[in-house]
Amino acid sequence: MKAYECMVLIDPSFNETDIDKIVAKVEEQVQKSGNVLETTNRWGKRKLAYEIKKVNEAYYVLFNYKANTQFNIELDKSLKFTAGVMRHMIIASHIEKKKAPVKAMQAM
């Protein structure tokens, strides 16, 4: 399994309950497929760089998880047809902790 990030922009006109339902739906979809949901970061409402359907802001949510490629195709299709999701993007996360070289550790 590889590490992925999924950023979801939710319509700001939705109330907190509806936003919670969308977030819970994505979390459930990730977990029920046997994948590992690492974190869910709610960034809240933020201004967009450009208007989407005459809207200037969106509610941002970032999901970090480990999954196979086939799951991302299913998640992409699901998010395209989820009411309230303005945009979404799934990318491979290549952030790993770097280990200090052995020689540098011995010099200390």
Which pLDDT does position 103 carry in this prediction?
A: 56
Closest CA to 75 of 25, 36, 3, 40: 25
Nearest-10 Cα torsion for 28, 33, 37, 40: -30
pLDDT in tens, 13-50: 999 999 999 999 999 999 988 899 999 999 999 999 99
| pLDDT exceeds cutoff 90 at 106 | no
Q: Which domain holds residue 38?
A: 2-107
Q: 93: pLDDT confidence band, cut at 50, 70 and 90?
A: confident
Mean pLDDT of the chain: 88
Q: 96: pLDDT confidence band, cut at 50, 70 and 90?
A: low
Report whether 37 contacts 24 (CB < 8 A): no
Collapsed DSSP state (helix, strand, coil) of residue 64: strand
Cα 39 to the center of its chain, rounded Å: 9
For the chain, how many structural domains are there in total?
1
Domain at 16, CATH number: 3.30.70.60
Element (H, E) at 16: helix 16-32
pLDDT in tens, 52-67: 989 999 999 999 999 9
